[in-house]
Amino acid sequence: MRTPESRALVVVVLGLLGSLPVLADGPGLGKAADPAVVRMMDLTILPDGKDLPPGRGTVAEGKQIYEIKCLACHGVGGQGQPMDRLTGGVGSLATPAPVKTVNSYWPYATSLFDYIRRAMPLTTPQTLRSDEVYALVAYILSIDGVVKPDAALDAMSLPAVKMPNREGFLNWWENPRR
Amino acid sequence: MDKHPDERLPEFAAANGLIHRRELLVGGLLASVAPAIAAQEGLSPPPWTLAPGRPMSGYGMPSEWRKTVQRGFTLPPGRPGTGASRTPLHLLEGTITPNGLHFERHHNGVPDIDPARHQLLIHGLVDRPLTFTLDDLLRYPLQSHIRFIECAGNSGGAAAPNPTQADAGTLHGLVSCAQWTGVPLAVLLQEAGVRSTARWVIAEGADSALLSRSIPLAKCLDDAMIALYQNGEAVRPEQGFPMRLLLPGFQGNTNIKWLRRLRVTDAPAHTKDETSKYSELMPDGRARQFMLEMGPKSVILKPSFGMNMQGRGFYEISGIAWSGAGRVRGVEISADGGRTWAQALLEGPVLPKALTRFRLAWRWDGSPVRLLSRATDEAGSMQPPRSEWVKQYAPGQGYHYNAMQAWDIDTAGKVTNAYT
């Protein structure tokens, strides 16, 4: 069970931990992580985008890559089948037939970069260069006008993209409305 | 003076023949209708008593006569590594799921990880970024806990307008329960030195989906575990060998398998699997995100679809109940569609965030009945009727389905899935 009291307690405990220089109740068998290993393994992009890699990609480049590497699973223009639909459905979420796609549902464009880079294409994940990932994100977003047809995305412009459903999610962990 | 148990009527607790759970202690009720031992096939001894049996084996397998007890799944064309297989709940007893029957949910197949080349990295908002090998973790003091894991999408098919006629494993088999042994995550985080601004931990697996979820730091410091063993043997490849994250009571997807990385952050990452998937769209178009705890739930497995009644008389109703909030406090059973309820017997020990077996004796008089069960957990939450549950969400949304399961039994004894 999660109560406001227990959360407050965790915050207090964390405060204490933060103030202690060394604390090791366990055997302390972890080895200091090599910063190069951390850089190689850390593929996570948060909404702030500050870990986005150098690179740049345009809508036009993305369309070319999409048609070679993505279309077989996600359909023409991201319309889906056999795998997930990526485009369309913007404005449908509150209707009796909601269509959840990247453009209608996802709150952050950074999540799309993160996901494509780590997991796509399904049969050859982690093979796309950063430029290609930026380009694919730009292309998919452009299909519903989230970015302009001549847009180019990079580490600066990608986190600034405002997704149509940016305000649509309620953080149930921090504020359950039961 | 009390009559012999066979001669008196049992004490009923609710309509249509539900017998008070106290009567289980008396005995005799079930025995009185047990079929006589089948007539011997002639007078010759059975063949397995007349010749030596098989020799020992390196890893034992179930009886040849039970080879049909299998996980259920379909392989989507062209993407065999994505999907799920379900525990055949209705063919099992007790509360522990055999390792080979634990449900699976993979996002790009099961990796064959060489444990000597796998390490767990803890980094981010910590004073000391650390890596741990499996051998390192095996030297830590270990803990064992019996806990269920339930996929957030379990039973989601019940959001469909009409009830699917399928067995309980097919309908509800994305839940399993095992004894997990491993290292409390709090110990490792403490060694790394979590900074005061930290609030979340982003966990990542080493499969080819690099599946990634944001976990509240409070959970990581509470009862989270790096699980290394499952029911006494190394965690199975389908369950994350050589190590998985165990987050008792949280939706299955957050229990990252093949765990390779924990990045401590001040905010969630909003990964694909916590935005696009595993979020709960409501009728007003907004979605619940990070609704992580699985609600109270129960399913009657005996009888259930596919197990037709063998004539009127005494039966044991039994099933499983669980809650992500802690212990199951009680399970009630109705044989009249929810008008009257009887408390089932909970088979102990009743453990927090573990499957709990419930049982109740029942005398079926051959008339049509609707059987229901409803669990209440120690937080006081009770399973809703389906009609209440579906109101919370947008059409077709099936995550976190925990409404009551109803089974209809007709005069012929046929059991079908029903909606309430």
What are the structural domain ranges in chain A?
Answer: 36-160
Q: Quote the minimal CA–CA distance from B142 to chain A in Å.
A: 11
Give domain status of residue B20, yes or no: no
Q: Which of B125, B191, B201, B389 is the best residue to mutate to test the A interface, defined by the most A CB atoms within 10 Å of its own CB? A: B191
CB contact under 8 A, A43 and B210: yes
- Residue B138's pLDDT is 97
Q: Is the CB of residue B246 less than 8 Å from the CB of residue B252? A: no
A29-59 pLDDT per residue, tens: 999 999 999 999 999 999 999 999 999 999 9
- Cα–Cα distance, A44 to B271 (Å, whole number): 8
Confidence of residue A13 (pLDDT cuts 50, 70, 90): very low
Place of tokens 């909404």: A47
Interface predicted TM-score (ipTM) of this complex, two decimals: 0.91
Give the residue among A158, A114, A136 at the shortest CA–CA distance from B209: A114
- Residue B364's pLDDT is 97
B120 and B158 share one domain: yes
Give domain status of residue B388, yes or no: yes
Closest CA in chain A for residue B79: A122
- Residue A12's pLDDT is 42
- Cα–Cα distance, B245 to B294 (Å, whole number): 16
Q: Decide which of B92 and B36 is more confident.
A: B92
B160 and B280 share one domain: yes
| Strand ranges, E, within B185-312 | 200-205, 212-216, 225-230, 233-234, 244-246, 259-265, 280-281, 287-289, 297-302
- CATH number of the domain residue B383 falls in: 2.60.40.650
B308 and B269 share one domain: no
Cis peptide bond prior to B129, omega within 30° of 0 = no
- Cα–Cα distance, B176 to B168 (Å, whole number): 13
- Residue B23's pLDDT is 77
A147-157 pLDDT per residue, tens: 999 999 999 99
Q: What is the domain extent for residue B218?
A: 115-284
pLDDT at A4 over 60: no
pLDDT at B188 over 70: yes
Determine phi and psi for A117, rounding to 5 degrees: -65, -40
Give domain status of residue B347, yes or no: yes
CB contact under 8 A, A30 and B140: no
Q: Which among B137, B193, B269 is the nearest to A44, CB-wise?
A: B269
CB contact under 8 A, B194 and A17: yes
CB contact under 8 A, B395 and A125: no
Specify the pairing of strand A169-171 against strand B287-289.
Answer: parallel
Specify the pairing of strand B104-106 against strand B83-85.
Answer: antiparallel
CB contact under 8 A, A10 and B221: yes
CB contact under 8 A, A30 and B130: yes
Residue B298: which region, alpha, beta or left (left: phi > 0; alpha: psi -120 to 50)?
beta
Which of B255, B284, B313 is a domain's end point?
B284
- Residue B7's pLDDT is 52
Closest CA in chain A for residue B279: A169
Which of B262, B284, B306 is a domain's end point?
B284
Mean pLDDT score of chain B, rounded to an integer?
Answer: 93
| Strand ranges, E, within B222-341 | 225-230, 233-234, 244-246, 259-265, 280-281, 287-289, 297-302, 313-322, 328-334
- Cα–Cα distance, B291 to A172 (Å, whole number): 5
Q: Residue B351 corresponds to which amino acid?
A: L
B232 and B302 share one domain: no
Domain count within chain B = 2
Confidence of residue B128 (pLDDT cuts 50, 70, 90): very high
**Low-confidence winner among A48-52, B19-23, B300-304, B398-402 (lowest mean pLDDT):** B19-23
B183 and B324 share one domain: no
Q: Write out chain A residues lying below 8 Å of B265, CB-based.
A: 46
Q: Six-digit token pair at B392? A: 């919370």
- Cα–Cα distance, B158 to B168 (Å, whole number): 12
B119 and B210 share one domain: yes
Q: Write out chain B residues lying below 8 Å of A125, CB-based.
A: 108, 208-210
Size of the A and B interface in Cβ pairs below 8 Å: 202
Q: Which residues contact B3 (CB under 8 A, 6 or more apart)?
A: none
B258 and B136 share one domain: yes
B258-282 pLDDT per residue, tens: 999 999 999 999 999 999 999 999 9
Does residue B143 sit at the A interface (CB-CB below 8 Å)? Answer: no
Q: Is the CB of residue B295 less than 8 Å from the CB of residue A1? A: no
- Residue A25's pLDDT is 60
Confidence of residue B1 (pLDDT cuts 50, 70, 90): very low
Confidence of residue B40 (pLDDT cuts 50, 70, 90): low
Q: Is the CB of residue B372 less than 8 Å from the CB of residue B405? A: yes
Q: Quote the minimal CA–CA distance from B269 to chain A in Å.
A: 5
SS3 content of chain A, % helix, strand, coil (to 5): 40, 5, 55
Give domain status of residue B30, yes or no: no
B124 and B256 share one domain: yes
Q: Write out chain A residues lying below 8 Å of B324, CB-based.
A: none
B202 and B239 share one domain: yes
Total-model pTM: 0.92
pLDDT at A15 over 50: no
B368-406 pLDDT per residue, tens: 999 999 999 999 999 999 999 999 999 989 999 999 999
Which whole number is the average pLDDT over B190-203? 98
B357 and B329 share one domain: yes
Give domain status of residue B57, yes or no: no
Give domain status of residue B31, yes or no: no
CATH architecture of the domain A36-160 equals Orthogonal Bundle (1.10)
Which whole number is the average pLDDT over B126-155? 98
Q: Quote the minimal CA–CA distance from A53 to chain B in Å.
A: 16
Give domain status of residue B80, yes or no: no
In DSSP notation, B368-390 reads -EEEEEEEEETTS-BPPPHHHHH
B280 and B321 share one domain: no
Q: Which residues contact A40 (CB under 8 A, 6 or more apart)?
A: none
Give domain status of residue B237, yes or no: yes
How far apart, in Å, are the Cα atoms of B308 and each of A87, B92, B366, B411, B413?
47, 17, 12, 11, 5
B331-372 pLDDT per residue, tens: 999 999 999 999 999 999 999 999 999 999 999 999 999 999
Which of B250, B284, B318 is a domain's end point?
B284
- Residue A10's pLDDT is 45
Q: Six-digit token pair at A78? A: 């991201």
Q: Quote the minimal CA–CA distance from B204 to chain A in Å.
A: 9
